Structure 1
Amino acid sequence: MDSKNLVPENELQEMRNYFENEDFAGAVEEVKKYLEDIDQVPLNIAVTGEPGSGKSTFINVIRGLNDEEKDSAKTGVVETTMSPTAYLHPHHRNVRYWDLPGIGSPGFKPMDYLKLVEFDRYDFFLIITTERFRECHILLAQAIQSMGKKFYFLRSKIDSDLKGYKRGRANCYKEEDILKKIREDSINGLKAGGIGNPQVFLLSCLEPDKYDFYLIQKTLEDELPSHKRHIFLLSQPNFFQQALKKKRKTFRLHIWKWAIVSMMNVITSQFSGAHRALSVPHLSTNGDLTLIVNVLEEYKKAFGLDTRSLQLLADTFGKDPEDLRSVIETPTASQEITHELVFHHLNSQGLTDMGRLVTACTNQFVPKISTLASGGIAFGTTYWILSSFLANMAEDAARVLSKALEASD
């Protein structure tokens, strides 16, 4: 195999940028700090609207929960939120969706409301309604804008609107035309109220694969500061092939960094004489197995291949979870990921030669890596393992989603 095709050119360039202007040890510490910090960035998302607008249901769906699960937001036709309530993402505990008290009561004062809910803690606001946006939504948006933060308008329960149109106008029902009219009416009403260039998204939490659910995800990702995009993307539910591809891409950019950490584990263990409980060529074993297990677990959960996520996807689209599980081909995606499972894979795949090839590929950009004896091979071996499993799990996730979206007989 031609080694130059193993590592994409953009990754080689990024490695060179890290190491060419700084001493090697300092650059490694910078890489380790980046990996420690990237998943700990706090993200606080405010969800507000009138009572019964679907705030809580939206929060549950966007976190990958159903309304009856433990830790789900309380739902109901009357206001169930009396004070700001934080709901943590099940896999990314620093991502919080805040269910804010309902708006729209007589004499509603947006500035008093924003003070009550502690405006400064949120990165942006989602303003939800089930019908036309009213004065209370406009006043709140203007107050948020005046205080320098972003907001987005969500028109929920759009499936109910479409059913109503269809019942009353069955002979001339055209879904695309109706959605266009609802969107234009919403935008025009907000503009008339003084909101310039409002962003309006049409959603159904009962059919999250339809309408603007992916568009709102993409918009928020694009408009978030760069240091918060990663954690937001990974926390999103896997209802769209586009989202799966983006997750694969962002994980891919971190692989060489994990490989650098693995390399340093080997070098450190060599100098310290650390005990090697298992025999894996060119790895420090305990430290590297734990590193690989943790990263693979992150892949598995982010791509929705764990048991809980598969059950939720099956429930969302009315499928049997065993049918979804049947298209998973990667052993580590369909089993509990343990040290022993990864150890067995390492010793059965002949990965050392691939590790040498990866190391040779990076040598022209970061020559220091190939001179670090077995540490250099650890870099290549870890890089190849994570690259291979990332590709396999991403493909498994794509197959699972396709299976979930198949039309029922």
Structure 2
Amino acid sequence: MAAKDLPADEKEFMTLSQDEMEEMKTTFEAGNLEAVAKKLQEKLETLDKIQLHIAVTGEAGSGKSTFVNAIRGLGDEDAGAAKTGEVQTTMQPESYPHPTLPNVTIWDLPRIGTHKFKADEYLEQVSSQKYDFFIILTASWFTTHHTQLAQEIQKMKKRFYYVRTQVDFGLQAEQKSRPSTYKEEGILQKIRNDCIENLKREAGESFSQVFLISSCDLAKYDFHLLQQTLEDDLDVEKRHTFILALPNVSEQILEKKKAAFKREIWKLALLSGAISAVPVPGLSIIADIAILEVNMRRYCQAFGLDDAALCRLAQRVGKPVAELKSVIKAVPTASSINKEFVIRMLARPASLAVMIVEELLDLVPVAGPILSGGVSFGTTFYMLKRFLNDAAEDAHRVVQKALS
């Protein structure tokens, strides 16, 4: 198959941007292959180190701590979880790192709604400038405390999002009190409309979006709409980090993670090809093994295919962890990915990898001299792409088993 016949999405993630292509071309034409490899490595490392700080605030009883845990894929009893049911008595934000991405931090801010609350002083006390955006929670009605805080956040040119939590409790109450007329969609729309009208009364402004969620089941209600809105509002690099940090609560999120990783593969393969062109004996194979090992493990961790994540999921859905592991067919769990595993994978026939190189030469023309060596680039590209597909399929099976 010629490169020009590849599907559009394949070309999208394999083609360099114009700026990157010119930068690579200039460096390569200078004859400095080490510099080519270094630039690629720096780009990849920069992407992994992008900081994302998410602030979560609300009044007492709004479910802040449970939400902080849920968006990190944790239950309230898991190690590293924010403590729930405790009333905060200090004005110090509490930081909670993502379980597998140390560059992502969720901040549980002090509660609002006290009689001494002043929005401008509150934001100064919680060091508001460091947060990328604010999620403002309530379990009932939005008040002047919420809207005053939002107005102060707007003055800082920061984004905020109104979230109505514990929607499942409201639905259960309605179903119990009005079983004959209960219609979930109608009740959800009424809750949403009431929140929007309430905000209009409190702030004197129109708000088109209030997100309804249950932290006990993020797969339901508006969490996906909230997630998509946050994605759209972030810049490209922070969006990538945000997607990888999402909890694996649905097949939709798994596909987003797969697409994000897929867009990285050509850079990793180019790095492998650039290193292979450097005339240092043994350097190429050492680099290939390291690139494959690190990124295969990343894929498994992001998809929840590691022992800790599987144990947490099993506890949350009330199923034996062995039952969840039984549907993992194509890839090992993250802890089993080591140099020996990668070497066994590399021992498989590489003819398809070489064919891939031939198809890619006109898609990444600036790297043609690097790709002409072929084996390192093609092998890395092919193995990462195949492993990513396999890991995503296993993750889908785990989610389906958990929800069944």
Letter in 2 for 1:381: T
SS in 1 for 2:264: helix
Match of 1:264 in 2: 274
**Is it true that 1:42 corresponds to 2:51 in the alignment?**
yes
Letter in 1 for 2:339: H
Return the alpha-carbon distance in structure 1 between the equivalents of residues 369 and 127 of structure 2. Answer: 54
Return the alpha-carbon distance in structure 1 between the equivalents of residues 124 and 51 of structure 2. Answer: 21
User: 1:96: how far off?
Assistant: 0.8
Match of 1:380 in 2: 378
- The answer to which of 206-215 and 130-139 deviates more is 206-215
1:219-243, CA deviations, whole angstroms, 9 ceiling, x for partnerless residues? 1111112220011100010111111
Match of 1:149 in 2: 158
SS in 2 for 1:217: helix
Return the alpha-carbon distance in structure 2 between the equivalents of residues 382 and 232 of structure 1. Answer: 26
**Is it true that 1:78 corresponds to 2:91 in the alignment?**
no
**Is it true that 1:221 corresponds to 2:219 in the alignment?**
no
1:135-180, CA deviations, whole angstroms, 9 ceiling, x for partnerless residues? 1111111111122111111111111111111222122111111111
Give me the CA root mean square deviation.
Answer: 2.2
Relative to 1, partners in 2 of residues 1:290 and 1:358: Cα closer, same or farther, differing over 3 Å? same
Match of 1:278 in 2: none
**Is it true that 1:394 corresponds to 2:377 in the alignment?**
no
SS in 2 for 1:120: helix
Match of 2:288 in 1: 288
Asked if structure 2 preserves the Cα contact closer than 8 Å seen for 1:19 and 1:27, the reply is no
Return the alpha-carbon distance in structure 2 between the equivalents of residues 15 and 160 of structure 1. Answer: 48
User: 1:17: how far off?
Assistant: 6.2
Structure 2: 5+ residue stretches without partners = none
Count of residues in Structure 1 that have an aligned counterpart in Structure 2: 394
Match of 2:148 in 1: 139
User: 1:202: how far off?
Assistant: 0.9
SS in 2 for 1:296: helix
User: 1:370: how far off?
Assistant: 5.0
Asked if structure 2 preserves the Cα contact closer than 8 Å seen for 1:359 and 1:379, the reply is yes
Return the alpha-carbon distance in structure 1 between the equivalents of residues 308 and 13 of structure 2. Answer: 33
Match of 1:331 in 2: 331
User: 1:82: how far off?
Assistant: 4.2
SS in 2 for 1:330: coil
Match of 2:125 in 1: 116
Letter in 2 for 1:18: E
Asked if structure 2 preserves the Cα contact closer than 8 Å seen for 1:51 and 1:77, the reply is no
1:198-232, CA deviations, whole angstroms, 9 ceiling, x for partnerless residues? 52111111122211122211111111122200111
**Residue 70 of structure 2 is aligned with which of 47, 50, 61?**
61
* TM value normalised by structure 2: 0.91
Asked if structure 2 preserves the Cα contact closer than 8 Å seen for 1:214 and 1:240, the reply is no
Letter in 2 for 1:289: I
**Is it true that 1:340 corresponds to 2:328 in the alignment?**
no
Asked if structure 2 preserves the Cα contact closer than 8 Å seen for 1:255 and 1:386, the reply is yes
User: 1:16: how far off?
Assistant: 7.1
Letter in 1 for 2:270: I
**Residue 20 of structure 2 is aligned with which of 18, 21, 25?**
18
Structure 1: 5+ residue stretches without partners = 276-283
Letter in 1 for 2:21: F
Letter in 2 for 1:341: F
Return the alpha-carbon distance in structure 2 between the equivalents of residues 224 and 266 of structure 1. Answer: 36
Return the alpha-carbon distance in structure 2 between the equivalents of residues 167 and 207 of structure 1. Answer: 20
Return the alpha-carbon distance in structure 2 between the equivalents of residues 84 and 362 of structure 1. Answer: 49
Write out aligned runs for 1:113-192 (5 A). 113-192=122-201
- The answer to which of 81-90 and 383-392 deviates more is 81-90
User: 1:119: how far off?
Assistant: 1.3
Letter in 1 for 2:72: R
Return the alpha-carbon distance in structure 1 between the equivalents of residues 258 and 371 of structure 2. Answer: 31
Relative to 1, partners in 2 of residues 1:366 and 1:156: Cα closer, same or farther, differing over 3 Å? closer
- The answer to which of 38-47 and 198-207 deviates more is 198-207
